[in-house]
Amino acid sequence: MKFTPNLISVEWLNKNIENPDIIILDATINKVIDASSQRIPKARFFDIKKRFSDVNAPFPSTLPSAEQFQKEARGLGINKDSLIIVYDDKGIYSSARAWWLFKTFRFKNVAVLNGGLPQWILNAFKVEAYSDAVFRHGNFEAKYNSEFMTDFVGVNEFSNNNATLIIDARSEERFNCLVDEPRAGLRRGTIPNSTNLPYTRLFNDYLMKPKTELTVIFNNLVDNKVKFVFSCGSGITACILALAATLCDYKNLIVYDGSWTEYGTLTK
């Protein structure tokens, strides 16, 4: 079976869903699991907010420790040789964050489902209700790679580095300070020397645009930069930019974990 990391079609998953090495993760953010919840068959809930974030951190969706990530991943039955496919119920949204977390902890065999649950349903593929499944403990190993994430100190250094481009995934209105931030009390603003690429520009309906179109979008921004830092509101949609840049074969990609929620709080 040929498995291509980073992005997988719903057609491919439907064809290969019975492969025992495949683990499907529903990374829908703030999902409530009840009797009406639908999932792709065999999907396991990847709880970004409560299990795969540092819940004691001052900012939302903060990167967990390697120990926490490994423990929670093993609890989902994930092994070192698993083939992981992540999706969400918006198309591609929080699934990109889950994908980037696995990469941050040095796991390569992970892909985002292109179009997510909406595209799966559009193709009339089977869905099922959630169940109270208990999974056999996995042997997944997490090893943190600090080159994939940065913090407040790091982003300030990148902001003053002429070889680095900071790209903000928020909407134009938020980036240009025309509307309030959705987080109560958070000031409007932008990281110095950053540019704007709203993540919504990367899609045709629910699907990520093809590589040729994505490359044009990024080439119009990058100039002669050799390193790229992605930011957003709280570190979720920044990972969508990281996914698109990866598909375009860019290297030296970094996500600002705290993003504007952290930066806007710690600066005036």
Active site (catalytic) residues? 232
Secondary structure of residue 259 in the 3-state scheme: helix
- Paired strand residues for 158: none
What are the C-alpha distances in Å from 191 to residues 46, 231, 260, 267?
30, 9, 8, 10
What are the C-alpha distances in Å from 173 to residues 12, 13, 166, 196, 235?
37, 37, 18, 10, 18
Q: Residues near 37 by Cβ (< 8 Å), separated by ≥ 6?
A: 31, 129, 130
CB of 105 closer than 8 Å to CB of 144: yes
Secondary structure of residue 230 in the 3-state scheme: strand
